[in-house]
Every structure is written in C-alpha cells, then in structure tokens.
Amino acid sequence: MKILHKITVSLLMMALPYVANAQVSLSASDFDIAAGGEATFAVSMENEGQQICAAQFDMALPDGLTFQSAQLADARSVDHGIDSNTVNGKIRVSVMDPENNFKGNQGPIAYITVKASSSFKTGKVGFEFISFSSLTGQAFWGANFDIIVNPDIIETTEGVKFYVSPESLTLEPNSEGVKQGELSIMLDSPKYSVTACQFDLTLPDGVKVASAKGTDRSANLKTTAKELDNGCVRIKMADIKMPLLETITGTEGAICIITFEATDKNFKSGEVKIDNIELANPDNLKCNPDDITVSISATAGIENVTANQLNQGPIYNLQGVKVAGESMNKGVYIQNGKKFVVK
C-alpha cells in the first residue's frame, strides 16, 4: 500500500478546476458501533462512464467518535496510495495514483476505522468537500452527505440494575477511632443512558452520612447529599448545566460512594433503607428500581486508653508493630487482642 505525501496530494488536487458531475459520487452506509469499541465502514465511489484516478473527502465526526485509520480497498485501489490528516477539525482522506485509474466503476475505495468513547450512543458522520480528478486533468465536485452511527438505537429500561456493594456493611474505626464504612451504589444500564439519579436514605439511630461522592463513571455529574425534613438523606446526581446533556459513562459499575459514620459509640446494628430511587435519561425516560435494604453494624471492643492500660501488656499499631506507650500518637492500637483509641 502506498502512502501519499500530504503536500503532493494537496498541490495536485488544488491545481485542477472543479465542476459538478452527477456521474461521479461517493457513498457510505449507516453503521453500528459499541460504546468503547471500534468499527470499520466502507467509503464507496460510483463513477459510471468516467475514469477517475484520485478522490478526496473530509469527514466531520460526532462527539465521542475518534478517527483511527484509513485503509485502501484493494479490489478497486490496489495501485493507489492513501493519506489522512486533520484539516479545520475534520479528517481529510485522499486516495490517488497519478498514473492509474480506480478499477471498475463502483464499489469501495477505502475503509475507515473509528473508535467510540465509553459513553457514545449515536450521531452523524458528515462527508464534505468531496472531489475527484482524472488522468486527463478533469476535476469534479461530489455532493455532500451524512451517515448515522447506531441508527436504530432505542433507549429502554430493559436490563437496568440498581444495587449496592457490599450487601451488608460493617463500620470500623479509622485512624482517628471514628467508626466508618463505605457503601458503593452500583448501576448496570446496558441500553439506558442516565443524566440524573436520585434516591433517599433512611438511617438507623446512631448513624449519619459522612460524605457522598461520585466515581469516574459519574464525573460529569454533580453529587449532593441533603437531609430532608423527614430525617431522610437525599442523594442527587445530575448535570447542573443547561441543557442537561452529560450522562453517566459506561454501562456497569459503581456510580456513587457513600461513607456512613457511627455517631453513637454504643451503636451495634441496624438497617439502611434506600428508596424513592429514580433515574432519568436525556429523553426523560424514567426508571424506578426497587427499594434496597442494607444491614449495617459496628465493630465492638474499641475503648479509650487509660493510664493503667498502658501497663497491662505490649501494645501494637494496626500494622502489627510494637510501640511504646509513652510515644503513641493519636490513633487506634491493639493490646491483649482488643482495639483502643488514643485521642
């Protein structure tokens, strides 16, 4: 396969006077591509009654679709060279041979490979500034056209799964002795794009929401936590800009991490109820997954250290390293198999 030098292509194509010719045209078909995947589609030329040695076109790609490569279609352009570069934000592809015409008068002359982002759904590829030239010095303009990527995509709530991980949560002391635990809010939505998510948390006495934050999947959305008049905590994830176009990326995995904290040192166990769950997509197709109940408990045996306790046996930090009582910093330590806190 020959690769054309960009300057050679540009000078040759620009030097020719262009006229319209309905007998010469480019075409491409709508195609499908999976989010995060690649796809290759053919660009075909029809030149009934006209010999053509060179073709050039610009492609305007939709957001979320990136150009990967342009390859020759050997059946028609085996003797040709191909080149691609970016011009004014569009991908310009040139296929030509100054000594040979394309073989035949219809069929593919190039194959274009593109890659979709993890959140790509659908869009148009625009073909513009289409031009052709012959060995005799004639040059022609072709008609602009568009093709659709994923033309038959239908938003549906089928397959939507809203769940948590872990299914039961244990609050354990951090380095400051505060009992905390993280709960991941999980969302699988293979055919449903989410531009907003909202749910309420009903907490047991002695537990609060310390924080709620998004993940890489929901980086495009703003995550907030607000206590309601009824005592519930409402978690909201939404694109706060107008129009509401940003969505959760990908089709599965965590979208929010909630940190729970024990406010009562005597808290042992209870339940967190997650209800009023509502998802919405850019077309306002709403989805209301079932309520979820999560068991929550706290580890026991964490105490404040006393002066007498320092003399009741060797003390270790959480890494298992023995420490001297008089040199301990604030944190959690272990003595005689029990954890205690130095404040």
Where is pLDDT greater, at 195 or 292? 292
Q: Among positive and negative, which fits the CA dihedral 74, 76, 79, 81?
A: negative
- For residues 107 and 315, the model is more confident at 107
Mean pLDDT on 262-288: 92
Residue 220's pLDDT is 87
Confidence label for 4 from pLDDT (cuts 50, 70 and 90): very low
Q: What gap in Å lies between CA 160 and CA 193, rounded to an integer?
A: 10
Q: Is pLDDT above 70 for 9?
A: no
User: Quick check: 120 pLDDT over 80?
Assistant: yes
Q: Rounded to an integer, what distance in angstroms lies between the CA atom of residue 141 and that of residue 131?
A: 5
Write the pLDDT tens digit of every residue in 159-211.
Answer: 999 999 999 999 998 888 899 999 999 999 988 989 899 999 999 999 999 99
The arithmetic mean of pLDDT across residues 280-295, rounded, is: 92
Strands 179-188 and 106-116, sheet pairing = unpaired
CA 170 to chain centre: 31
Q: What is the pLDDT confidence band of residue 14, given thresholds at 50, 70 and 90?
A: very low
The percentage of the chain sitting over the pLDDT mark of 70, rounded to a whole number, equals 86
pLDDT at 269: 94
Average pLDDT over residues 28-32: 95
pLDDT at 210: 97
Tokens of 72: 């020759």
pTM of the model: 0.54
The predicted pLDDT at position 318 comes to: 72
Q: Measuring CA to CA, which residue among 333, 283, 286 is closest to residue 306?
A: 333
Q: What per-residue confidence (pLDDT) applies to 136?
A: 86
Q: Give, for 12, the enclosing helix (H) or strand (E).
A: helix 6-14
Asked whether residue 245 carries a pLDDT value surpassing 80, the answer given is: no
Q: Residue range 63-83: average pLDDT?
A: 92
Question: Which residues in 95-133 are b (16+ Cβ under 10 Å) and which e?
Answer: bbbeeebbeebeebbbbbebbbeebbbbbebebeebbbb
**What would the 3-class secondary structure string for 63-125 be?**
CCEEEEEEEECHHHHCCCEEEEEEECCEEEEEEECCCCCCCCCEEEEEEEEEEECCCCCCEEE
- Tell me how far apart the alpha carbons of residues 263 and 255 are, in angstroms, rounded to a whole number: 26
Residue 6 pLDDT: 38
- For residue 289, the model assigns a pLDDT of 97
Could you give the CA distance from residue 212 to residue 72 in angstroms, rounded to a whole number?
Answer: 51
Find the angle CA(45)-CA(50)-CA(52) to the nearest 5 degrees.
Answer: 60
Task: State residue 3's pLDDT score.
Answer: 43
Q: Which amino acid makes up residue 20? A: A
Q: Residue type for 155, please?
A: E
* Cα 79–Cα 88–Cα 23 angle in degrees, nearest 5: 45
Sequential DSSP letters for 201-228: EEPPTTEEEEEEEE-GGGTTSEEEEEE-
Residues paired with 161 in a beta bridge: 188
- DSSP class of residue 31? B
More confident residue, 311 or 75: 75
Report the distance separating Cα 237 and Cα 258, nearest Å. Answer: 12
For the chain, give the mean pLDDT.
86
Asked whether the predicted pLDDT for residue 119 surpasses 50, the reply is yes
| Phi, psi dihedral angles at 290 (to 5 degrees) | -70, 155
DSSP-derived secondary structure letter, 291: P
